[in-house]
Structure 1
Amino acid sequence: MISDRPYLQNWRPIYELSSSAVWFSAMITAYTLSFFSSLPLIGFVLTSASCGVMMFIRLRQALPRWQQHRRLKGKKLALLKLTEKKCHSLQTKNQEQGVWLGWGFEWQRHHGQRAWDLLRSDNLPTKSEKNMGAGWIHGMEEHEEPLYQPLEQTQMHTMVIGVPGSGKTRLFDLLVTQAVLRNEPVIIVDPKGDHDLASHTLRSCELSGNQYRFMKFHPGFPANSIRINLLQNFNRSSELASRISGLMPSGGDNAPFQAFAQLEETGDLFPLQLLGELPNLEYVARLGGGRLLKGRIPILCSPKS
């Protein structure tokens, strides 16, 4: 289907700017010649005025294209300072419009055509080593507006794709903050251990009125981590044996010892399950199989957990 939208070559040189410079020169020339010529002054005035009108017409035509080329350089990062008023505004917008994703525009076919034309032209901005990502994408649209995702869609899977440094983690900050302010449970699995993400999540909990909602688990930093009892919840004794034997080195010559420890722990924990008692690491450490794991268990939990 052919679109009614006229096709424009958006990234051509701004010829209107050069034309306005020529008309400006003509206006100045006509005005200057009026002082050195014996011809009637009215002719020079009309000529100068006509050149001035054409200059302003060309400038008016050149200004939108100049702004469009200027937007290819990208925009500065917007720093948001969360206050109680801002938090209340986010909560209201979440209920009325959905999750706020930031500023942008919906990608349409004409945006794709503009991007294609830009990639084929010589106007593509030089990529800076300091800034990651493609900031010229913001130049595909003249006006950006707040973007919202309906709350019903947040119950589904959402994928965020971007090169390193393009702002994925900062978007996660925004999504986590709004989820915390909605009093929703948030579980973050961060293999990179981003310190800013953790600190921003803690700040979001403080702004929600309950800083103790924030709990962090990291085996490498037990002093700043909560404790998790790996033996608290289970359905079969073999599950506990698998968790404990998983602490042993696997592969190579260690595989038989790991399998033997798992088998012995399964037999030792089964009587406790029949009695309806919960095992703890102190009990496991006194068992024969526990001696194989001695020195490895207390990394995750205290002996009495």
Structure 2
Amino acid sequence: MSSKYNRTDGRYVEFLFRPIYEVNTAIAYGIGAITTPFMTLGAFQPGATVSFGIAGILAGGSYLYAMKAKPLIERQLKLKLNRKEFMDCKKLREINSLEPRITNDKFVDPRHNFMGYGFEWGSEHANRIYQVMNMDSKLTDIKLPFFLRKATDEFQHETEELGGKPFIHAVGDETEIKVVEDTYFGHTLISGNIGTGKTTLLRLLSLNAIHMGAKESSARFNINGQQNKIKQGDKTKNNSKVIVVIDPKNDTDWKESIKQEMEHLGYGDRFFSVHPAAQSDSCRIPLLKNFVRVSEIADRVAPLMGTSGGSKTFEDFAYEQITFVAAGMEYIGTPIRLTSIQKALSSGKIPFCEKVLRVFYERTLGPEYETKLNMAEYLKKGVEAWQVMSEYYKARLSESHENAAILGIIQLIEHPSEHFIKMITSLRPVLTALTSKPMDDLFSPIDDPESEDKRRIVDLDNLMEKGGCLYISLDSMTDNKTAG
């Protein structure tokens, strides 16, 4: 029974999976329509005859019952068969395009995203599932018309290849499913068995997002979580959509579909792929380049040590030491990289701290600072240069030339080496993993215009401002901390 019947009527019963009697009726009417003219062939006269009139009525009845049988046949086919459906890129682009959804005088919510085909679950679907569950596991109760049984055997292999139970498609009338982009701003979980279409759905979401931020139009759109309106005639391009994909499997189809769509829209140069396993083809990201406060550097690195149990103490210590090193690098104008932090916290602690102190004294006391500190005499007595500079600062300059970076460097260099090494034991493997080949070139690159290395360097600030896609493949990361 179709949904047009009144469900509040006590006589209403819906059973979509009954034998399709309409097929037999349509066949009977069709045979009658064909044979009736021949039964009166001897009395045939030119022009309209009664026999042809009766045949026409029978043909109409056959068509009517065939149309009634058609949706039932399609629904019962879906109970047992499942097929792959393909959508042409051109059609998907038409669905995603902003321009047809915008009129000259009003918005027609241009941020509807196409999700695929399906139906909203309701009580009627639960009732139909209950009917299916009352059948045997192979649904032998369903008897398709004889002329379809042979044809359906050809699609059994594809159904088995797709896996799962196809009957879910038969309990509802599938139509285009669209959602408003605002629903993505919260946390969203997509779950399902292997082969159920999780990656395909993610690909659709990715392509939708690209189109939501790709056209110049009088549309309402989202930039970095903030809603904005472009007034009529505004020349600002809605291309600030940022897509970050973290792919544990390195799905080539997903990556290529995003890249091709961005090239189709005219900004393929904003697609950046980072893949440690394919170092020669990968872009590079200076992970520690952009920051507002030096403490942000430690915020990004120290938590990788973990925070469970007693490790919190070690993380706090590492956080402090990383902050000291980063502040020192900022003071002397050295680019802050993971490789340089790793070196400063391992074997290079003393040379690094001494370099920072020398820069400070040269800026504070001038090029002749060694003479003022009487450093030559102390060196003859076996006192290290950094010790001389540290003690002089604490005794003479701590009040008149107070500097947080220098105080941190002195605290770092004076910390007992044995205890220092013990406290950063958990941090060193993380830094080593992030700075060893090929990670050093990928995440601590040196931006040298004269370098022979022509791989692109991704500026994350620039990416956030101008839009684009950053596709990170983690399939080669066997260590969870490194992947994190």
TM over 0.5: yes
Equivalence for 2:467: none
Equivalence for 1:114: 128
Identity of aligned residues (%): 23
Equivalence for 1:66: 73
Runs of 4+ in 1 over 6 A off after TM superposition: 19-34, 124-127, 244-247, 258-264, 291-296
Query: Could you say if the C-alpha distance between residues 91 and 117 of structure 1 is closer, same or farther in structure 2, counting changes exceeding 3 Å?
Result: farther
Equivalence for 1:39: none
Query: Could you say if the C-alpha distance between residues 295 and 304 of structure 1 is closer, same or farther in structure 2, counting changes exceeding 3 Å?
Result: farther
Residue 137 of structure 1: how far off its partner (Å): 2.3
Residue 69 of structure 1: how far off its partner (Å): 1.3
Local SS of the residue matching 2:301: helix
Is residue 12 from structure 1 mapped to residue 18 from structure 2 by the alignment? yes
* Aligned partner of 1:304 among 446, 464, 483: 446
Asked if structure 2 preserves the Cα contact closer than 8 Å seen for 1:241 and 1:266, the reply is: no
Is residue 78 from structure 1 mapped to residue 86 from structure 2 by the alignment? yes
Query: Could you say if the C-alpha distance between residues 260 and 195 of structure 1 is closer, same or farther in structure 2, counting changes exceeding 3 Å?
Result: same
Q: Which amino acid aligns with 1:167?
A: G
Partners in 2 of 1:23 and 1:32 — Cα distance? 15
Asked if structure 2 preserves the Cα contact closer than 8 Å seen for 1:14 and 1:65, the reply is: yes
Equivalence for 1:178: 208
Per mean C-alpha deviation after superposition, the further-off stretch among 221-230 and 293-302 is 293-302
Is residue 157 from structure 1 mapped to residue 187 from structure 2 by the alignment? yes
Asked if structure 1 preserves the Cα contact closer than 8 Å seen for 2:288 and 2:336, the reply is: yes
Partners in 1 of 2:78 and 2:270 — Cα distance? 42
Q: Which amino acid aligns with 2:88?
A: L
TM alignment of 1:243-254, pairs within 5 A: 243=301
Partners in 2 of 1:245 and 1:112 — Cα distance? 47
Equivalence for 2:166: 135
Local SS of the residue matching 1:188: strand
Local SS of the residue matching 1:216: strand
Q: Larger % of strand: which?
A: 2
Partners in 2 of 1:190 and 1:160 — Cα distance? 14
Query: Could you say if the C-alpha distance between residues 219 and 262 of structure 1 is closer, same or farther in structure 2, counting changes exceeding 3 Å?
Result: farther
Structure 2: give runs of 5+ residues left out of the alignment: 1-5, 41-50, 143-151, 214-240, 306-314, 349-427, 448-484
Partners in 1 of 2:82 and 2:195 — Cα distance? 15
Q: Which amino acid aligns with 2:194?
A: P
- CA offsets per residue over residues 169-227 of structure 1, 9 Å max, x none? 12222221121122221111111111111101101211221111111122222212111
Partners in 1 of 2:164 and 2:98 — Cα distance? 27
Query: Could you say if the C-alpha distance between residues 284 and 163 of structure 1 is closer, same or farther in structure 2, counting changes exceeding 3 Å?
Result: closer
Query: Could you say if the C-alpha distance between residues 66 and 260 of structure 1 is closer, same or farther in structure 2, counting changes exceeding 3 Å?
Result: closer
TM alignment of 1:1-305, pairs within 5 A: 3-4=7-8, 6-17=12-23, 56=62, 62-72=69-79, 73-82=81-90, 86=94, 89=97, 92-93=100-101, 96-97=108-109, 98-121=112-135, 122=139, 123=141, 128-142=159-173, 144-183=174-213, 184-233=241-290, 235-236=293-294, 239-240=297-298, 243=301, 268-275=325-332, 277-280=334-337, 283-284=340-341, 287=344, 289-290=346-347, 297-298=435-436, 299-302=438-441, 304=446
TM-score by length of structure 1 reads 0.68
Query: Could you say if the C-alpha distance between residues 59 and 272 of structure 1 is closer, same or farther in structure 2, counting changes exceeding 3 Å?
Result: closer
Asked if structure 1 preserves the Cα contact closer than 8 Å seen for 2:115 and 2:177, the reply is: yes
TM-score by length of structure 2 reads 0.46
Query: Could you say if the C-alpha distance between residues 217 and 244 of structure 1 is closer, same or farther in structure 2, counting changes exceeding 3 Å?
Result: farther
How much is the aligned-residue C-alpha RMSD, in angstroms?
4.7
